[in-house]
Amino acid sequence: MTNTFRSERRTDPLPEPLPSPPKQSGRSDLAIFPIRILGDPVLRMETKPVTDIDDTVRALVEDMIETMYYAPGVGLAANQIGVPRRIAVFDAHDELGPRVMINPELVETEGEIEFEEGCLSVPGRYWEITRPAFARVRAVDLEGQEVEYAGDGLLGRVLQHEIDHLHGRFLLDALPKRMRKKALKELRDEALGLT
């Protein structure tokens, strides 16, 4: 999810190499990754679960949080920076602050609400999208402990949005078919310079 967009366009379908593990705590080599744009096949991939939370995963999560704030956005999935692993970060502007969810699963949803949604991979565009109002997610944190995130409002929305990314879906997939076709036509016309 996004407010504005400042990342360069990438069409290279090859995943970025994972960053090197930190040599010491308090890294001075945090990286900001280019964000993959709709049309990049990595955004349509089912991501692979993380089996070992090692230094490479910890460094990746730090870089994802840095990249999310730089963009700026309220959430980022690993495949949005070309790494098809089941990891997402978010900051829903609440007391939770920046959080990571590794191997997250949506375990409960409730209600329904229309909410203006954007995505760093579809820069500058927003749609009113109807989804469950409340979401509960179970995941693992960087210490390998099971964590649960639950809420409505922006938190409920970002949890669902990022988990969609990790399954190769993106926000327009949540629109009714006719609205999705219209939105895709608008994006195509815009890309062709017809608007």
Binding residues for Ni ion, rule: CB under 5 A, are: 119
Q: Could you say which of 146, 162, 186, 190 is catalytic?
A: 162
Q: How far is the CB of 121 from Ni ion (least distance, A)?
A: 5
Q: How far is the CB of 170 from Ni ion (least distance, A)?
A: 6
Nearest-CB residue for Ni ion: 119
| 130 strand-pairing partners | 114
**What span, in angstroms and rounded, lies between the C-alpha atoms of 117 and 105?**
21
Q: How far is the CB of 38 from Ni ion (least distance, A)?
A: 9
Nearer to Ni ion, 4 or 20 (CB): 4
Amino acid at site 163: I
Task: Centre a 10 Å sphere on the Cβ of residue 31 and count the other Cβ atoms it contains.
Answer: 16
**What span, in angstroms and rounded, lies between the C-alpha atoms of 184 and 179?**
9
Nearer to Ni ion, 81 or 139 (CB): 81
Beta strands in the chain (DSSP E): 75-77, 87-90, 99-110, 113-119, 122-131, 134-140, 146-151
Nearer to Ni ion, 61 or 119 (CB): 119
Nearer to Ni ion, 59 or 89 (CB): 89
Active site residue 186: no
Burial class (CB in 10 A: 0-12, 13-18, 19+), 160: buried
Q: How far is the CB of 143 from Ni ion (least distance, A)?
A: 26
Sign of CA dihedral 88, 89, 90, 95: positive
**Alpha helices by DSSP H, 6-152:** 55-70
Q: Where in the sequence numbering do the catalytic residues fall? A: 162
